[in-house]
Structure 1
Amino acid sequence: MWHNRSVVIYRCVDGYHSWRGSYVSVCGSSGEWLGATLRCIEIKPPVNHLSVLNEKCLHWRAEKYEEDEEVYKVTYVGSRDYERSFHDRGKRRLSSKADQLELCLNLLPVTNYSISITALSSRCTATISTNTSLTAPVVYYREFETPVPTLRLRRSPNTLDTISVYQVFVLPVEGVVMFDCSSPVSSGISIKIKSSTEYITAQIDVGHVRTDMNFTVGDGLYYGGFFNAPLENGRNYYIILRAVSQWKSTLKSSCVLWAKVKGTSYVLRVSSLCAAASIGLVALVLLGGYCFTWYGRWC
């Protein structure tokens, strides 16, 4: 009280904060109070119901008290159990007036992530953890014009080097040829061929490819414990390139029909001069009698 006036100052209780209106009520010389218009609302985290969908997209609800645009800063850090030296870090910013928000990130497979979102107006942060699963590898290669199938294998960025291999299959064409790209593998990522005529001619750890490496079918060398035997003259073959990634009990693979050899002629080149193929085939069925017709056309 002072100078014949009385003043009351209002404050929101703990857990609430003032939002609009006057926090002062004055009783003047007339003896009437001018009422305070203060409104108290519950304090809520600016980022609520944070979740990760499809192992890459963040969803959250924005708790805002005004219609103003909010700026969010998103940071993520990833690590891998089987690769101690691996770290994946990234930052994103998003400005929006919306109440329901979504932001998709480029998260890598088989990685443990910690993701934080900060609302810059309040500097409050919400954090969530997520684990991404194994995905089918991509086959990267470059092909050359040679008398026998030759290509240059290439590593892709951020590949799963330590848990991935390339496998080269030779399938002699005898009627109908069945090849299951999703066939399970044993320890060391090797495969058992159902038919004695089919065989793996090479298995190459992706980590050993470095930037790139050349590989020719039938060069008489050993690759991953498999003998790259020369092709027999006068026989027809399919050459299949398979990429396999395996972590614990989960396996993912993708295949490309790389080449078709008729007799001693390399008659079909599946790729263009530079190709990146990822074909998740459950079963690749090759009709040998039909495929080896005029000009080596596709089945």
Structure 2
Amino acid sequence: MPRHAQFCACLGAITCGRRRLSRDSHWKHAQKSCGNEPAYLKFGSEIDCGTPPEVPDGYIIGNYTSRLGGQVHYACKEGFFSGSEDTVSRCTALGTWESPKLNCQEINCGRPPEVQHAVLVGNHSSSLGGVAHYVCLEGFESPGGKITSVCTEKGTWRASTLSCTEITIEINDVSVFNNTCVRWRINPGRINSKTAYMVHIKGHRLDSMESVHEETVNLTTESRTPEMCLDLHQGTNYTVSISAAPPRRSVPAIIGFQTAEDDLLEDDGIFNISIFNEACLKLNRHSRKVGSERMYQFQVLGRKWYLSHFYHATSLNFTTREQAAVVCLDLYPATNYTVNVTLLGSPEQHSVQTTVTTPGVKQTISNISIFNETCLRWRSLKTADVEEMYLFHIRGQRWYQKEFAQEMIFNITASSQAPETCLDLHPGTNYSVTVQALSSQSPVVISLTTQITEPPLPEVDFFAVWGRALPRLRLRRAEEKNGPVSSYQVLVLPLALHSTFVCDSEDATSFFSNTSDVNGYVAAELLAKDVPNDAMEISIGDRLYYGKYYNAPLKTGNDYCIVLRITSEWDKVKRSSCALWAQVKGAVVCAAWKTGPASFLISHRRVQIQRPPSPQPALLPGVFLKCSADFVTSPDGACIVLHQFSVWFPRPQVATNVLFSIQTDAPALFWIQPLLSLLNVSAHMITCSLLPWIAL
């Protein structure tokens, strides 16, 4: 036997090394080894798999052996369940246990089932053993006891065998007291809220088989011993049926009784009136004399509190022999009526007066529409030629002007069935208009938007200039009264176009266009958001770009008019307003120096300067002096065209005068402080003084 054979046990057929041991204990060559690594067992030794593996949330059932072929049975712990997985793990020939396939999951039954006519109460657990409690809805009960549902080990709720059934109200012990009053009792402890009852009354006269009094009255009460007094005729046999009003159920309780006979031998003409169905009157005659025919006169007067001159007057006569006659009147909605009923033909002229207020109809306005931007028309469903008052509530807002808010409340009166009205509204505003006819219960709402109009004329300080430079122009923000301001434009036009210029014209384009000399040009464009609230200044011809437009200098000797145009644009509508800002004749252009402090280079042909610590004075062939000054303007706002500076050297006594021209955009000043620096010279002080103004 090969030396490897002592490590092998003959278990069926085990592959060992390169040979195979068969059941007949003969070694044969094997093509593969036992697994990835040789698995050798010493001949004659017993296989023991040791302690079985654990299953999460599971446990081992019963006893087991850890030897080859031994089996371990698993089960899930209480509160957990598994599917149909294999619950067995076996000890293998490799000396290991098979991996358990059991997967224990916590039991969760989810939401409890619904029980008809019941609701869940309190908190419930959806884990194993959790109990859901139910209570029946009002009007229902569970005769068998409390309704519960329990979460089972299968992860489902065990439905209750009990259910909620509708309570049938038992009406008992019906009795009569005070001749016309009834009381009864309901089964105790079954109803905890108010209950509505229907009491049906049917009366017969003692001398007639015809019904003389029949009606149904309602009573709502939470008493367990309800009682009510009825308006009954005297000397009449009555059958009264009492039952619970739907949706409650009950077995009707019926009682019969006879009211006491009256002592009236004749019809005294006394009657009273009750109102039902909003416009119907019931005449209840005091007399019970059969066949007594009477005529009644109805005088009806209606007025509306919101229409001082509205009157609805009508009169009619009504003849009847009934004990409880009914008359329904044709009345207008939302009207206060006084009804006077008089018995005719009676010496006493018995009369009863009552008031009726008719409710408003649901809606009387239809087909409301807008015309001419701010006018409304609609159809009225009221009777023709009857006046109606309409209440208007108008709210206006602007998205571009948060502080704007307009609110108006007013009313109009109209008798037409197609009323129209025009509203006084602001331009460039979104409105919500609520209209309600005072005879109706609900309003109608419509939205409208007014178009913008021309913005207010720009507020400008007009300048007229002849033969001198134009001062700075002050631009003020325009008020957004008629719509949102979009932009401000400064237009430079030939003076000849002033009388024919149209504000909305688009002829004026950029300065660089071929037609700028003829049609003028836009020198500057500023968006509304770029203009400060306190105003800003603009210089015509400052060679800067404002938006996409170049502010070019005016041409010397030409005549111009400067126009400020304000443009408002909203909802695809564009409107403009223009104002003449300045008029220039014989334009003067100052030397074009850059705005701000300027530096001037002054060249001296020959200057003798002694520079310490050198012992000998030296002659420099050329010295450059740099003189800096702040720009200034003359008092009248025109540019300064000439200044004269003198430069003195204390030693030697040499003076050099330099003349030059500057243009300034600074505020008007009357002095200037030049700053002088000397290049390549450090020994002597040199001063630069400003001489008086020199006009051009």
What is the TM-score of this pair, normalised by structure 1? 0.62
Q: Which has the larger radius of gyration?
A: 2
1:255 aligns with 2:513: no
Alignment of 1:148-297 (within 5 A): 148=470, 150-158=473-481, 160-161=483-484, 164-173=486-495, 179-183=501-505, 191=509, 195-197=515-517, 198-218=520-540, 220=542, 221-247=544-570, 249-264=572-587
Task: Measure the CA separation in 1 of the matches of 2:496 and 2:462.
Answer: 27
Task: Measure the CA separation in 1 of the matches of 2:430 and 2:537.
Answer: 35
Cα–Cα, structure 1 residues 177 and 64, in superposed 2: closer, same or farther, change >3 Å?
Answer: closer
* Contact 1:71–1:93 (8 Å) recurs in 2: no
More strand by share: 1
Displacement of 1:169: 1.0
RMSD between aligned residues: 4.3
Displacement of 1:263: 1.0
User: Which string of whole-angstrom CA distances, capped at 9 and with x for unpartnered residues, describes residues 218-252 of structure 1?
Assistant: 15143223232332332101222222233465432
Displacement of 1:130: 1.8
Displacement of 1:170: 0.7
User: Which string of whole-angstrom CA distances, capped at 9 and with x for unpartnered residues, describes residues 122-170 of structure 1?
Assistant: 5521101223334333332131557536343232144644x61111111
Cα–Cα, structure 1 residues 89 and 248, in superposed 2: closer, same or farther, change >3 Å?
Answer: closer
Aligned mate of 1:129, from 423, 447, 458:
447
Partner of 1:23: 281
Displacement of 1:196: 3.0
Task: Measure the CA separation in 1 of the matches of 2:422 and 2:497.
Answer: 51
* Contact 1:73–1:91 (8 Å) recurs in 2: no
Task: Measure the CA separation in 2 of the matches of 1:24 and 1:210.
Answer: 77
Cα–Cα, structure 1 residues 249 and 77, in superposed 2: closer, same or farther, change >3 Å?
Answer: closer
Aligned mate of 1:3, from 214, 225, 233:
233
Cα–Cα, structure 1 residues 216 and 172, in superposed 2: closer, same or farther, change >3 Å?
Answer: same
Unaligned runs of 5+ in 1: 266-299
Q: Which AA in structure 1 matches 2:233?
A: H
Task: Measure the CA separation in 1 of the matches of 2:577 and 2:538.
Answer: 20
Task: Measure the CA separation in 1 of the matches of 2:454 and 2:437.
Answer: 36
Cα–Cα, structure 1 residues 176 and 223, in superposed 2: closer, same or farther, change >3 Å?
Answer: closer
Partner of 2:327: 36
Q: Secondary structure at the match of 2:459?
A: strand
Task: Measure the CA separation in 2 of the matches of 1:242 and 1:210.
Answer: 17
Aligned residues: 249
Aligned mate of 1:75, from 376, 380, 394:
394
Q: Secondary structure at the match of 1:242?
A: strand
Partner of 1:113: 431
| Percentage identity across paired residues of the two chains | 28
* Contact 1:60–1:102 (8 Å) recurs in 2: no
Displacement of 1:195: 1.0
Aligned mate of 1:93, from 394, 398, 409:
409
* Contact 1:116–1:127 (8 Å) recurs in 2: yes
User: Which string of whole-angstrom CA distances, capped at 9 and with x for unpartnered residues, describes residues 185-204 of structure 1?
Assistant: 9xxxx946661322111111
Displacement of 1:49: 4.8
Unaligned runs of 5+ in 2: 1-212, 214-231, 237-270, 294-320, 334-360, 589-696
What is the TM-score of this pair, normalised by structure 2? 0.30
Cα–Cα, structure 1 residues 140 and 248, in superposed 2: closer, same or farther, change >3 Å?
Answer: same
User: Which string of whole-angstrom CA distances, capped at 9 and with x for unpartnered residues, describes residues 254-299 of structure 1?
Assistant: 333433221149xxxxxxxxxxxxxxxxxxxxxxxxxxxxxxxxxx
Partner of 2:119: none
Cα–Cα, structure 1 residues 57 and 249, in superposed 2: closer, same or farther, change >3 Å?
Answer: closer
